[in-house]
């Protein structure tokens, strides 16, 4: 399991290639990349800023990834999360999973993303011509989180 919080822009394709290099034992590689949109809910965003709490943020993301890893028997997870000032088009988050079969890898990536949306100690602020605003999880994010949790039973 690899968890990294990075201050600079990163290349998701290069990260995934390095993660999967030499892993011919895995039959499935699934990855998701979340990128910074130019506009959200009709508001132009020129810049996104993500704050984190050094030490605690990494620890909590590792805890969430650990839960998902155990649940889907998918030990090989990669999370790269950007913090600081992010421009439209840049990658915010990469989640990838290697697994013997595809179902576990798909599920692990989807559920870990649902967890990160509501439970990762990160704070997003959008700034644009209309000013700045802090973003909080949307109702649908909480619904997805609850569904993901329920599936653990």
Partner 1 sequence: MVRLVFLGKLGDVAPASLGEVSLPGEVRTLFDLKSWVARQQPLLGRAMEATPTRLILNQAVAHDLAAPIADGDEIAFLPPMSGG
Contact residues toward partner 1 (CB under 8 A) are: 34, 50-51, 53, 55-56, 59, 61, 81, 92-93, 113, 116-125, 134-137
Q: Give CA separation, 58 vs 42, 118, 120, 139, in Å.
A: 32, 15, 9, 25
Q: Select 2 or 118, whichever has its Cβ closest to partner 1.
A: 118
Cα–Cα distance measured from residue 17 to residue 22, given in angstroms and rounded to the nearest whole number: 10
Q: How far is the CB of 86 from partner 1 (least distance, A)?
A: 13
Q: Select 22 or 54, whichever has its Cβ closest to partner 1.
A: 54
Q: Tell me which H or E stretch contains 25.
A: none
Q: How far is the CB of 106 from partner 1 (least distance, A)?
A: 17
Q: Select 44 or 119, whichever has its Cβ closest to partner 1.
A: 119
Q: Select 93 or 105, whichever has its Cβ closest to partner 1.
A: 93
Cα–Cα distance measured from residue 88 to residue 73, given in angstroms and rounded to the nearest whole number: 35
Q: How far is the CB of 22 from partner 1 (least distance, A)?
A: 29
Give Cβ neighbours of residue 85 (< 8 Å, ≥ 6 apart). 47, 48, 49
């Amino acid at each position: 399991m690899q968890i990294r919080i990075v201050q600079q822009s990163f290349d998701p394709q290069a990260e995934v290639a390095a993660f999967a290099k030499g892993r011919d034992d895995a039959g499935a590689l699934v990855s998701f990349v979340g990128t910074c949109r130019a506009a959200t809910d009709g508001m132009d965003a020129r810049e996104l800023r993500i704050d984190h709490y050094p030490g605690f943020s990494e620890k909590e993301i590792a805890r969430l990834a650990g839960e998902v890893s155990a649940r889907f028997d998918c030990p090989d997870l990669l999370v790269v999360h950007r913090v600081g000032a992010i421009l439209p088009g840049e990658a915010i988050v990469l989640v990838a999973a290697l697994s013997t079969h595809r179902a576990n890898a798909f599920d692990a990536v989807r559920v870990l993303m649902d967890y990160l949306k509501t439970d990762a100690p990160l704070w997003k602020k959008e700034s644009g011509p209309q000013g700045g605003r802090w973003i909080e999880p949307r109702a649908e994010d909480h619904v997805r989180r609850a569904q993901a949790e329920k599936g653990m039973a």
